[in-house]
Amino acid sequence: MVTQEDVIELAKRRGFFFGANGAYGGVAGFYTYGPNGAAVKDNLESAWRDRFTVRQGNMEIEAPTIMPEAVFEASGHLDGFDDMLVECPECGESHRADHLIEDNTGIEEAESLPVSEVEMIIRDHDLRCPTCDAPLGGEPVEDFNLMFETSIGPGSGQPGYMRPETAQGIFVEFPRLKEYARNRLPFGVTQIGPAYRNEISPRKGIIRVREFTQAELETFIDPEEDEPPLHEVADVEVTLYPADEQEDEEGSAYATTVGEAVEEGVIGSEWVGYYLGVAQEWYERVGVDMDRFRFRQHLPGELAHYAADCWDAESEVGGDWIEITGFAYRGDYDLQKHAAHSGEDFDVFVAYDDPVTVERATVDPDMSVLGPAFGGAAGDVADALRDLVERDPDAFRNAKAAGEPVTVTVDGEDYDVALETANFGVEEVTESGESVTPHVVEPSFGVGRIVYTVLAHAMDRDEVDGEERTVLRLPPGVAPTTVGVFPLMDKDGLAEHARTVAADLRAAGLAVTYDDSGAIGRRYRRQDEVGTPYCVTVDYDTLEDDTVTVRDRDSTEQRRVAVDDLVATLARLRAGDLAFEDV
């Protein structure tokens, strides 16, 4: 079995990713993508953009990564974006309390437990500091806010925070974005970019880091009217691990289809179900092994402060399940909060198919009566009457039926007003639509964790010509290099010829590595190890008939292809329009 250590070792040795700032000793939680990793990440982001922005007809934006404090007061991150921290009394090392529990007891999803229970479990299981082995029982467990704080501008400046999710950059711009969408629901806005979290204990390579890339889609819907095109993915087979199965000792993940799971109410929202189906197909295309993949529902105590229902896409690497994407039904939480805090209009006016006539209760307070009766409070009493008729018109209807005045409260004092003075009436009005606060459905992908999964699932060891090789079976569209070009020998004009072939392939937009050092078998192995799907060798026959050999990474089979056909053949292979056996 390929272990997490194997992946991390290969990643470092072959330039996929490695701890950043090594020259200065490095700081935990920050990683640099090397040339091969940056290329894989870029290919995955392009594939994501193609599926979730272009093919969905969504809009992509790029918002700042530092945002003012007011944004996170409104979003709830200042108050609620915490992890549980326990500090070692001996060595001072900080640890995530829920992870300590998960790693050392049979308890899963400890994040959903209350702090008091976490403290009790640490004490009862005699959990110890992973660094120095000192007992942690009796130590306080505290909530630690994960946002990086900064100061905007010189001097004491204005407090700002590095965004902990790209989503907030979309939500705060909603008043403008709805205009670009011509005020028509549903519409989706995507963003790919960095997010920052001051993780208590970053770990396992790029899985839990302090700076990472998210690819997020916020879909704004009218909850009463808009339905997703569920039929497009109803037959997609998925492995689900619902909350009740997790809570049942005998429970397990099981295979079903998106359509069945939505129909049976296992997936509570059609929109979430739709995105699980779209994502499942996308993961498969970019190289996630579907036998090591599942969708897990959040347990009730695990739900984020904004989420009504949430599923995680999880991949298995080295025996561990890693959350790679969150799918959340966020309701109108975000837009309501930003509307309330900013005073801006985060609603969308939804036009009815046909105008409707409705009865509307009205008041028109008679100030010539209210003034003498209530003096300085008369204006406020009139406002209170207008407010009441909007909020609770039945208060007037009931007062009328009882033949009594209506009562309003201003600054804690009750005022009785006769209905004739309030001028209560009912009129018929024609309405062409209504204001709706859209609900949000959000698939939120962690790009680094997908890079990691795709590398781990692609990594394999087999034997070629009696020699063990490490091979990354990456899909051609994800591999950092599409083709390696080699001259058989560095003499007799073969190298010049091979350089021309490489230049022509590059000019056609293919990612090419040129390699003329060492035995040809070693050159193949080097490319196999970084996932290059095809290698082209220029040999003595090339000089005779202008053909080259094309070698397939996975089968190691070779075909001769005319140099004139090479660009088209490789481009079709990369796009998946041609299978190697048909070359």
* Residues in touch with ligand GAP (CB under 6 A): 165, 167, 197, 199, 208-209, 212, 214, 216, 323-326, 442, 444, 446, 448-449
Residue 389, helix vs strand vs coil: helix
CB of 442 to ligand GAP, least distance (A): 6
Residue 163 structure tokens: 């965004």
- 454 or 488: whose CB is closer to ligand GAP? 454
Min dist. Cβ of residue 406 to ligand GAP (A): 46
For residue 370, give the 3-state DSSP assignment.
Answer: helix
**Closest distance of CB 211 from ligand GAP, Å:** 8
| Percentage helix, strand, coil for the chain under 3-state DSSP, each rounded to 5 | 40, 30, 30
Q: Least distance (Å) from ligand GAP to the CB of residue 444?
A: 4
**DSSP code for 147:** P
CB atoms within 10 A of CB 539: 19
**Could you tell me the CA-to-CA distances from 321 to 240, 315, 316, 449, 534 in Å, in that order?**
14, 5, 4, 11, 32
Q: Which is nearer to ligand GAP, 202 or 365 (CB)?
A: 202
Q: Where are the beta strands (DSSP E) in 488-572?
A: 512-514, 534-538, 547-552, 558-562
CB-closest chain residue to ligand GAP: 446
Nearest approach in angstroms of CB 165 to ligand GAP is: 4
Q: What does DSSP assign to residue 428?
A: E
Residue 130 CA to residue 382 CA, distance in Å, equals 67
Closest approach of ligand GAP to the CB of residue 446, in Å: 2
**Of 168 and 532, which CB lies nearer to ligand GAP in the complex structure?**
168
d(CA 28, CA 6): 20
Strands of 5-69 (E only): list them. Answer: 17-19, 31-33, 59-60, 66-68
Query: Could you give the strand order of the β-sheet that contains 66-68, starting from the edge strand earlier in sequence?
Result: 66-68, 158-162, 149-152
Nearer CB in complex with ligand GAP: 77/551: 77
**Closer residue to ligand GAP in complex, CB, 170/538:** 170
Minimum CB distance to ligand GAP, residue 235 (Å): 26
Q: Which is nearer to ligand GAP, 323 or 541 (CB)?
A: 323
CA distance 476 to 176: 39
The phi, psi pair for 557, rounded to 5°, reads -75, 160
Residue 205: HSE in the Cβ half-sphere, 13 Å Cα cutoff: 25
Q: Which is nearer to ligand GAP, 282 or 486 (CB)?
A: 282
SS3 readout for 163-213: CCCCHHHHHCCHHHHHHHCCCCCCEEEEEEEEEECCCCCCECCCCECCEEE
Cα–Cα distance for residue pair 353/3, rounded to 1 Å: 58
Least spacing, CB of residue 189 vs ligand GAP, in Å: 13
User: Taking a C-beta distance cutoff of 8 angstroms, is the pair 194, 65 a contact?
Assistant: yes
| 444 versus 547: smaller Cβ distance to ligand GAP | 444
Entry field: residues in the chain: 583
CB of 312 to ligand GAP, least distance (A): 6
Nearer to ligand GAP, 139 or 165 (CB): 165
- Phi, psi for residue 532 in degrees, rounded to 5: -65, 120
The smaller minimum CB distance to ligand GAP, of residues 329 and 415, is found at 329
Residue 21 C-beta: closest distance to ligand GAP, Å: 17
